[in-house]
């Protein structure tokens, strides 16, 4: 077993961290203070291939693997959680579900503009009264000839007011609970579709979070993703992708907390000595490093399983649970290392603390993941095969241009 990154992965890591340090970090503090989304980063992220990193070249993507997605997610969150969220939602929760569940016609129509950044996408599952309990959703989709008429509200939707493509879920059969949920791809500008922004968030100030309202939105059958009643499975498989990105990003924010804490601890002196020489400060730094090393292994394992085409719901849940909890602890310790200065946005660690709090809530709370892992441990939960599995990474096929003959 080789734990070393390949030369290609090392190049991706350098490129992504350079982007975080040179493009994200110089501007993100003001965006965080002003609660504004950094639109200026989107063309640059698209140019570098971040928005379609693990989509095949024939669909407009970079043709790289899921490990590359994890590396980029880590680096972006080293800069700020808000920027990493764009990749997790746009790619993990929207483009990858189309790649996994879409027809060939849908892949060819929807994926290239997403990979090139011509469209920005979001994911609408959570509702005012349905968060962890997805089956409690009240949004409906009524069949009307070859179309569907959608009505309902979605809440706490990342990129809702930035996106122009929306993967939303509604009940086509209200009598079947989760089995009656279906997925649909909506486009901004359709009659009856409106969005807005939620103000007053504790953290991720530079990310757009809001709501989606659907009032008699007419959706053609060609925009239904998967079969009727497959929406719950599509949503859960999408969350496997997003949770992977969240976990990788949490490793990045832990690295940021450690780097900034080491730098400060070596410079700050009390009683004539740098505080890095005091054992209780060293303990906090050592705990951060321990969390980084353990979290990195969990993320790499999940990414490796994705590359092999092996179901990874348990492993991705574990990575998300551990890494986000650990990141919150690391950020809390980083503020403590910085003392009173850590409580001010003069230093980045207070922003990291606010941002990590959101990460233990979205994409499944830590409590939900605790229950999920207990169910696996007790043998009460078993993953069953799905009609469409996330494709395994095939470097030859994924990097082939449109029209090139690909043979096994």
CA of 59: how far to CAs of 151, 196, 297, in Å?
31, 31, 30
Angle at CA of residue 16, ends 15 and 18, nearest 5°: 65
Are 79 and 21 in contact, with CB atoms under 8 Å apart? Answer: yes
Average pLDDT over residues 343-371: 96
Which candidate, 125, 124, 126, 90, places its Cα nearest to that of 110?
Answer: 90
Which candidate, 182, 290, 285, places its Cα nearest to that of 230?
Answer: 182
Provide the CB-side half-sphere exposure for 254 (13 A, CA).
Answer: 29
- Other beta carbons within 10 angstroms of residue 361's beta carbon come to 15
Average pLDDT over residues 259-277: 97
Which candidate, 75, 11, 6, 7, places its Cα nearest to that of 45?
Answer: 75
Q: Which has more pLDDT, 402 or 202?
A: 202
CA of 275: how far to CAs of 255, 259, 292, 340, in Å?
19, 15, 22, 14
Are 67 and 140 in contact, with CB atoms under 8 Å apart? Answer: no
SS3 content of the chain, % helix, strand, coil (to 5): 55, 15, 30
Are 268 and 278 in contact, with CB atoms under 8 Å apart? Answer: no
pLDDT in tens, 106-126: 999 999 999 999 999 999 999
Which candidate, 245, 208, 309, 184, places its Cα nearest to that of 50?
Answer: 245
pLDDT in tens, 150-188: 999 999 999 999 999 999 999 999 999 999 999 999 999
CA of 301: how far to CAs of 251, 295, 309, in Å?
14, 10, 12
Query: Is residue 82 scored above 90 in pLDDT?
Result: yes
Which pLDDT does position 281 carry in this prediction? Answer: 98
Which pLDDT does position 353 carry in this prediction? Answer: 98
Strand partners, 274: 269
Q: Which residues are part of the catalytic machinery? A: 363
Residue 248's pLDDT band (boundaries 50, 70, 90)?
Answer: very high
> What percent of the chain stands above pLDDT 70?
98
All structural domains of the chain, each given as residue ranges with its CATH number in brackets, are: 7-120 (1.10.540.10), 122-231 (2.40.110.10), 233-395 (1.20.140.10)
Distance, in Å, from the CA atom of 259 to the CA atom of 288, rounded to the nearest integer, reads 10
Which pLDDT does position 199 carry in this prediction? Answer: 94
Which pLDDT does position 3 carry in this prediction? Answer: 87
| Residues near 154 by beta carbon (within 8 Å), at least 6 away in sequence | 124, 125, 126, 127, 139, 160, 168, 211, 212, 213, 214
Query: Is residue 407 scored above 60 in pLDDT?
Result: no
Strand partners, 153: 213
Strand partners, 151: 140
CA dihedral over 63, 68, 70, 75, signed as positive or negative = negative
Strand partners, 273: 270
| Mean pLDDT across the chain | 96
Which uninterrupted H or E stretch holds 25? Answer: helix 25-34
- Other beta carbons within 10 angstroms of residue 362's beta carbon come to 20
SS (H, E, C) 296-324: HHHHHHHHHHHHHCCCCHHHHHHHHHHHH
Phi-psi region of 145 (alpha: psi -120 to 50; beta: other; left: phi over 0): left
> What percent of the chain stands above pLDDT 90?
96
Which candidate, 329, 75, 362, places its Cα nearest to that of 201?
Answer: 362
Distance, in Å, from the CA atom of 148 to the CA atom of 171, rounded to the nearest integer, reads 11
Instruction: With 0.85 as the threshold, say if the pTM is over it.
Output: yes
Torsion, CA 175, CA 362, CA 111, CA 215, rounded to 10: 50
Strand partners, 116: none
Kindly state the tokens that stand for 191. Answer: 């009659």
Average pLDDT over residues 60-72: 98
Which pLDDT does position 408 carry in this prediction? Answer: 41
Residue 222 gets which letter from DSSP?
G
CA dihedral over 293, 298, 304, 307, signed as positive or negative = negative
Average pLDDT over residues 245-256: 98
Helix (H, G, I), strand (E, B) or coil at 154: strand
């Amino acid at each position: 077993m080789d734990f070393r990154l390949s030369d290609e992965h090392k190049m991706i890591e350098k490129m992504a961290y350079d982007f975080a340090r040179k493009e994200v970090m110089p501007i993100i503090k003001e965006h965080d203070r002003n609660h504004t989304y950094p639109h200026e980063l989107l063309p640059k992220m698209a140019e570098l291939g971040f928005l379609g990193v693990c989509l095949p070249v024939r669909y407009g993507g970079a043709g790289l693997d899921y490990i590359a997605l994890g590396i980029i997610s880590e680096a972006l969150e080293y800069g700020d959680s808000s920027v990493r969220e764009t990749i997790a939602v746009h790619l993990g929760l929207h483009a990858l579900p189309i790649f996994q569940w879409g027809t060939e016609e849908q892949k060819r129509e929807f994926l290239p503009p997403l990979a090139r950044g011509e469209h920005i996408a979001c994911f609408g599952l959570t509702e005012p009264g349905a968060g962890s309990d997805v089956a409690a959703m009240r949004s409906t989709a009524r069949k009307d000839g070859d179309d569907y008429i959608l009505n309902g509200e979605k809440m706490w939707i990342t990129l809702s007011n930035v996106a122009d493509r929306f993967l939303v879920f509604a009940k086509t059969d209200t009598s079947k609970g989760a089995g009656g949920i279906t997925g649909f791809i909506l486009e901004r500008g359709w009659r009856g579709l409106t969005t807005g922004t939620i103000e007053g968030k504790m953290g991720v100030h530079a990310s757009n979070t809001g709501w989606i309202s659907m009032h008699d939105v007419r959706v053609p059958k060609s925009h239904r993703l998967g079969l009727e009643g497959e929406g719950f499975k599509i949503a859960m498989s999408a969350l496997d992708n997003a949770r992977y990105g969240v976990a990788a990003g949490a490793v990045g924010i832990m690295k940021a907390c450690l780097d900034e804490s080491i730098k400060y601890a070596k410079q700050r002196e009390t009683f004539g000595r740098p505080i890095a020489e005091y054992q209780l400060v060293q303990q906090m730094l050592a705990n951060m490093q321990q969390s980084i090393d353990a979290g990195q292994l969990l993320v790499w394992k999940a990414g490796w399983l994705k590359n092999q085409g092996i179901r990874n719901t348990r492993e991705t849940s574990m990575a998300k649970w551990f890494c986000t909890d650990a990141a919150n602890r690391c950020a809390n310790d980083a503020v403590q290392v910085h003392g009173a200065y850590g409580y001010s946005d003069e230093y980045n660690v207070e922003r990291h603390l606010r941002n990590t709090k959101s990460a233990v809530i979205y994409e499944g709370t830590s409590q939900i993941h605790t229950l999920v892992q207990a169910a696996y441990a007790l043998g009460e939960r078993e993953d069953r095969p799905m009609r469409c599995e996330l494709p395994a990474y095939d470097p030859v096929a994924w990097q082939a241009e449109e029209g090139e003959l690909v043979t096994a």
